[in-house]
Amino acid sequence: MTSEFHIYNTLSRKKEIFEPLNPPFVGLYACGPTVYGDAHLGHARQAITFDVLFRTLMHLEYKVRYVRNITDVGHLVDDADDGEDKILKKARLESLEPMEVVQYYMNRYHENMASLNVLPPSIEPRASGHIIEQQELIAKIIEAGYAYEVNGSVYFDVARYNKDHSYGILSGRKVEDLISNTRSLDGQSEKRDPLDFSLWKKADPSHIMRWSSQWGEGYPGWHLECSAMSTKYLGMQFDIHGGGLDLLFPHHECEIAQNVAGYGKPSVKYWMHNNMITINGKKMGRSLGNFITLDQFFSGEHEMLEGRYSAMTIRFFILQAHYRSTLDFSNEALRASQKGLEKLLKAMALLDTIKPLENSSISVKSLHNKCEEALRDDMNTPILIAHLFDGVKIIRALSEAKESITASDLDLLKSLYRTMVYDVLGISPSNAPEAENNLTGDLVEMILQLRKDAKANKDYNTADQIRNRLTQLGLNLKDHKEGTDWEIN
Ligand code: ZN
């Protein structure tokens, strides 16, 4: 078994052995939400991916400082760099103060994350609280010759930067190709080149979120906050920067350019990106009308949902795909995840009923090693879960005394499941569907036991009556050698 942790680095485009800059400390930064609307499945996937990374690093005994920001200013509607500020737009539509919008959606985001059992980060900085740091970075970039001021706004000079460094190293895009793909500037623009992006924007008189600066009253460009806040809390060089694949370009590409231009060198050793969620094969988006918020998943109140889904079902569904693969939502897939999770938790409950014996007929060590290896292989959670399901068969066999286990192996097996399911995958038993259905489950199990007893007494009449009555009540029963599986239709 390898003790190394391998992670896929978007920058090198390959899996690398994880070697932190200052072990045992690890600096981890992940882009957080722009708080102007309710969180959806895409937010959940990004937060859960880096939550599992945070948990995995702690499991590997690193001391992690995890910084996840809140974007509360500067994220503009059009290409993130033009048009109205997303938060200001929402505030205008709802007749609220922009910071009321921010507070409202930030609270809701935190509630959603708590439901999903996403651990709070070590530091959660907000862009509006770091205006000075952002202004200092702009000044450095101007001083280095990679930005220019026009009429109270400051833009990053991509062409000038690309002469000395290489713009596009993360996304693999070439400046020449980008130029031919960008619409030409209209006469209104102050930018020298359409590829240039804003570092500081002059606030027009109606713009409420504004700060004074040496360039006049304005507000920072969106990409700047992550450069300024990550290095403030994690140092000029840090280990991991994460985010969704949709942030790779231009957001993260611009971040690299800003850091190299302002600080003289890149700051991030490993870049990690989680893939996107599709809905019935289509891209998800507010404008596409297939947008389901987390609260709608929890309540079932959306026309595309065939029921409500617990937060742990959502979490388990996300973890059943590798973070670098796309994940397609469908009701069938979510129901399958719910059943899978129930099966896993039921087996874990069985662990407490197993009586240890003199010898072990199964190898806990081998199961343990397989789980560890899957986790250390770029957080391969679907393979890890597959191994845990293999273990479910072993647990069932043990509970039916078809296999045997010693007391110390049983302790190892219990500890393996607790560590992997609760600590690493972050499944919270109290938020799981199993907990909600506990009474129903116990009652069904009790009735099925009565039916089993009736069969054993050759009272087939009673056994059949119980079966028919349960079926009428909407239960699906499946008899097999080891007992009876059931599910509610
Ligand atoms: Zn960011």
Mark whether 226 and 338 lie in a shared domain: no
pLDDT at 236 (0 to 100) = 98
Ligand 1 centroid to residue 274 C-alpha, Å = 14
Instruction: Identify the domain boundary among 225, 245, 274.
Output: 274
The alpha carbon of 4 and the centre of ligand 1 are apart by a number of angstroms equal to: 28
The CA distances from residue 478 to 316, 384, 468, 485, 488, in Å, are 25, 28, 13, 5, 12
Domain containing 90 — which CATH number? 3.40.50.620
Q: Which domain holds residue 290?
A: 279-424
Phi, psi of 126 (to 5 degrees): -110, 140
- Tell me the pTM: 0.87
Residue 446's pLDDT band (cuts 50, 70, 90): confident
Q: Judge whether 164 lies within some domain.
A: yes
Q: Residue 98, SS3?
A: helix
Top-confidence range, 34-38, 202-206, 255-259: 255-259
Residue 151, in any domain of the structure: yes
Considering the chain, what is the average pLDDT of its residues?
92
Q: Check if the beta carbon of residue 119 is closer than 8 Å to that of residue 51.
A: yes
Mean pLDDT within 457-474:
90
Is 3 a domain residue? no
How far away, in angstroms, is 245 Cα from ligand 1 center?
12
Q: Are residues 405 and 462 in the same domain?
A: no
Distance between CA atoms of 222 and 217, rounded to whole angstroms? 16
CA of 354 to the centre of ligand 1 (A): 49
Edge-to-edge strands, sheet with 282-283:
282-283, 277-279, 327-329
* Nearest residue to 221 via CA among 211, 234, 230: 211
pLDDT at 1: 44
88 CA distance to ligand 1 centroid (A)? 19
* Shared-domain flag, residues 238 and 285: no
Distance 13 CA to ligand 1 centre (A): 20
| More confident of the two residues 38 and 446 | 38
Quote the ligand 1 centre to 154 CA distance (angstroms).
19
Is the domain of 327 the same as that of 395?
Answer: yes
Whether residue 182 is predicted with pLDDT greater than 80 in this model: the reply is no
DSSP string, 238-250: EEEEEEEGGGIII
CA distance 219 to 208: 10
Contacts of 76 by beta carbon, 8 Å cutoff, 6+ apart? 82, 83, 84, 85, 86, 222
Dihedral over alpha carbons 169, 155, 27, 34 (to 10 degrees): -110
